[in-house]
């Protein structure tokens, strides 16, 4: 029988111990603080009892969980997972001590979420036996485990960690060491680009969150999420990414985070972050239901441009009762191609997709800009933008058109990709950098973000639905219009777009 040691009986350690016993391992849980050990053990036992009740595990599993009050009692372990506080020196000391206490072939794993595993492995007597096992909170419920291969990790240690994770019922992804490993790295643009959009005042934080929920199908927008995690925690993570990468512009913290922390607005835990949290009052209103689709009543419509979005809009407009007239003349013209159509039919209100340019850079000063991402049958919201020169009747026509397609409108300021497009394209870009740099495979990125961060789909899947050319067009336009290094496209993404391939290969 495998003997598992868990060091640190806090939020993560208690959950990991529960998983170990449930997987049939003799599990020794240790914490130097007696009350913490007691609390953690109780939590793990309660969790196991629930699983026994549900028939998920046998009654004998509770007997597999033992508490040990000294580190020396971990001597018989085959694998030790440390879930002690996130302090490099403390973890290094632990690995040094465990190297003396345990057998030479013990595998030592760290549940760190931000310290390079390579730097911790150096503190063990046998660095080849060290790996990262990054569980997600709460470990018993979250289906993902990220196994991190440090520079020194040997194949046996990696395999031991992968096997233990699978025995615990986890989907295991194997990733390289580096800032944020794979999941937290690839998830970073969600908040980082959200903050950027807020800083540029493209939209308010409430709007950005609503757009992510209703336009993109995310459970929460970036600002709700930052409030939940703690704005101070997110700020520290951003600073550590910058330090570890020697200043990568995509990962720099935002001055907004610094300001919020300085003001003591740390999120839910302090009663105020981007939102206010008061007993009995919801922090935001419920989302509106989208309008009922239909009512096109034979109105003539020209949708120009090609690609998944243009095709989906045509289909949805037809279903809503519009009469499609390719090439015009028509009562409404929608340019839904990724690249601007050279000569959309004139004489009618014009709606243009803000992908390869902002509305301003496109030069159609009377038009309305819009952006949304496929799959349209899941979207409930479209983003619209206007210039001071936009014709009011074109703005009305845009709202009416999308309402008949069953989409509510959110007016935001002009930018390539508007809000959701910018966030999703940066998620795809980060994934393309990570895949290109060998941090993990395309499948691992999508598994990581859906199972680890509960995204509605992974960045690779997004890029396939929208088209890699759409993603690249938004990034290149941001680069062109902002001249900021954070918008440079990943070489892997450009290659996929030029060759017409997926990020998969």
Ligand X SMILES: NC(=O)c1ccc[n+]([C@@H]2O[C@H](COP(=O)([O-])OP(=O)(O)OC[C@H]3O[C@@H](n4cnc5c(N)ncnc54)[C@H](O)[C@@H]3O)[C@@H](O)[C@H]2O)c1
The DSSP annotation for 74-127 comes to: GTT-SEEEE---S-HHHHHHHHHHHHHHS-TT-EEEE--SSS-HHHHHTTSSSG
Calpha distance 249→310 (Å, rounded):
33
Instruction: Look at residues 132, 136, 135 and name the one whose alpha carbon lies nearest to residue 119.
Output: 132
Residue of 22, 31, 213, 414 that binds ligand X (CB under 6 A): 31
- The torsion region of residue 363 among left (phi > 0), alpha (psi -120 to 50) and beta comes to left
Residue of 3, 4, 13, 356 that binds ligand X (CB under 6 A): 13
Binding of ligand X by 398 (CB under 6 A): no
- CB of 112 or CB of 129, closer to ligand X: 112
How many beta carbons lie within 10 A of that of residue 299, not counting itself? 18
Interface with ligand X by CB under 6 A: which range of 48-56, 108-116, 287-295, 311-319? Answer: 108-116
Binding of ligand X by 385 (CB under 6 A): no
Binding of ligand X by 419 (CB under 6 A): no
Binding of ligand X by 504 (CB under 6 A): no
Smallest distance from ligand X to CB 67, Å: 12
Interface with ligand X by CB under 6 A: which range of 105-113, 213-221, 296-304, 489-497? Answer: 105-113
Interface with ligand X by CB under 6 A: which range of 82-90, 149-157, 161-169, 256-264? Answer: 82-90
**315 catalytically annotated:** no
- CB of 175 or CB of 312, closer to ligand X: 175
Q: Compute CA distances 323 → 223, 333, 376, 404, 450, whole Å.
A: 41, 12, 19, 13, 39
Smallest distance from ligand X to CB 203, Å: 29
* Residue 427 contacts residue 189 (beta carbons within 8 Å): yes
Interface with ligand X by CB under 6 A: which range of 25-33, 328-336, 339-347, 404-412? Answer: 25-33
How many beta carbons lie within 10 A of that of residue 476, not counting itself? 20
* Residue 178 contacts residue 185 (beta carbons within 8 Å): yes
Binding of ligand X by 112 (CB under 6 A): yes
**455 catalytically annotated:** no
Beta strands in 221-287 (DSSP E): none
Residue of 64, 81, 83, 424 that binds ligand X (CB under 6 A): 83
Under 8 Å CB-to-CB from 58, ≥6 apart: which residues? Answer: 52
- CB of 83 or CB of 172, closer to ligand X: 83
Residue of 68, 74, 84, 350 that binds ligand X (CB under 6 A): 84
Q: What angle, 0 to 180 degrees and rounded to 10, lies between the N-to-C axes of helices 308-319 and 459-466?
A: 70
- Catalytic choice (146, 193, 331, 383): 146
**184 catalytically annotated:** yes
**113 catalytically annotated:** yes
Binding of ligand X by 11 (CB under 6 A): yes
Q: Where does this chain bind ligand X (CB under 6 A)?
A: 7-13, 31-33, 36, 83-86, 90, 94, 111-113, 135, 137
Q: Point out the residues that are catalytic.
A: 113, 134, 146, 184
């Amino acid at each position: 029988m495998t003997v598992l040691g868990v060091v640190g009986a806090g939020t993560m350690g208690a959950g990991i111990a529960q998983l170990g016993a449930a997987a049939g391992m003799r599990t020794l849980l240790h914490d130097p603080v007696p009350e913490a050990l007691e609390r953690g053990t109780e939590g793990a036992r309660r969790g196991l009892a629930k699983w026994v009740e549900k028939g998920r595990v046998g009654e004998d599993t509770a007997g597999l969980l033992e508490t040990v009050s000294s580190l020396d009692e971990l001597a018989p372990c085959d694998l030790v997972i440390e879930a002690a506080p996130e302090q490099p020196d403390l973890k290094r000391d632990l690995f040094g001590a465990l190297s003396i206490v345990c057998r030479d072939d013990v595998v030592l794993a760290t549940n760190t979420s931000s310290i390079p595993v390579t730097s911790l492995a150096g503190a063990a007597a046998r660095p080849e036996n060290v790996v990262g096992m990054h569980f997600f909170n709460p470990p018993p419920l979250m289906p993902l485990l990220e196994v991190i291969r440090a520079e020194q990790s040997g194949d046996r240690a990696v395999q031991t960690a992968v096997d233990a994770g699978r025995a615990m019922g986890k989907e295991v992804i194997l990733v390289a060491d580096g800032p944020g490993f794979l999941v937290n790295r690839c998830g970073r643009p969600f908040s980082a680009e959200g903050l950027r959009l807020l800083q540029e005042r493209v939209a308010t934080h409430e709007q950005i969150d609503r757009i992510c929920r209703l336009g993109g199908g995310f459970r929460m927008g970036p600002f709700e999420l930052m409030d939940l995690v703690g704005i101070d925690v997110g700020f520290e993570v951003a600073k550590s990414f910058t330090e570890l990468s020697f200043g990568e512009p995509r990962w720099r913290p935002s001055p907004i985070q610094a300001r919020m922390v300085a003001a003591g607005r740390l999120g839910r835990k302090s009663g105020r972050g981007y939102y206010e949290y008061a007993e009995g009052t919801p922090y935001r209103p419920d989302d509106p239901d989208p309008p009922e689709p239909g009512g096109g009543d034979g109105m003539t419509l020209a949708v120009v441009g090609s690609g998944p979005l243009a095709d989906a809009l045509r289909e949805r407009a037809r279903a809503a009762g519009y009469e499609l007239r390719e090439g015009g003349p028509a009562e409404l013209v929608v340019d839904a191609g990724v690249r601007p159509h050279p000569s959309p039919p004139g004489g009618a209100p014009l709606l243009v997709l803000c992908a390869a340019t902002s509305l301003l850079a496109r030069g159609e000063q009377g038009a309305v800009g819009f952006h949304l991402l496929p799959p349209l049958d899941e979207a409930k919201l479209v983003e619209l933008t206007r210039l001071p020169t936009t014709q009011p009747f074109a703005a009305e026509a845009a709202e009416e058109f999308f309402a008949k397609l069953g989409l509510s409108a959110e007016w935001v300021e002009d930018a390539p990709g508007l809000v959701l497009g910018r966030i999703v394209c940066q998620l795809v870009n980060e994934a393309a950098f990570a895949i290109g740099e060998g941090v993990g495979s395309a499948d691992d990125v999508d598994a990581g973000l859906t199972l680890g961060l509960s995204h509605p789909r992974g960045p690779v899947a997004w890029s396939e639905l929208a088209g890699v050319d759409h993603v690249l067009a938004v990034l290149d336009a941001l680069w062109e219009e902002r001249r900021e290094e954070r918008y440079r496209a990943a070489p892997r993404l450009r290659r996929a777009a030029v060759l017409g391939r997926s990020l998969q290969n």
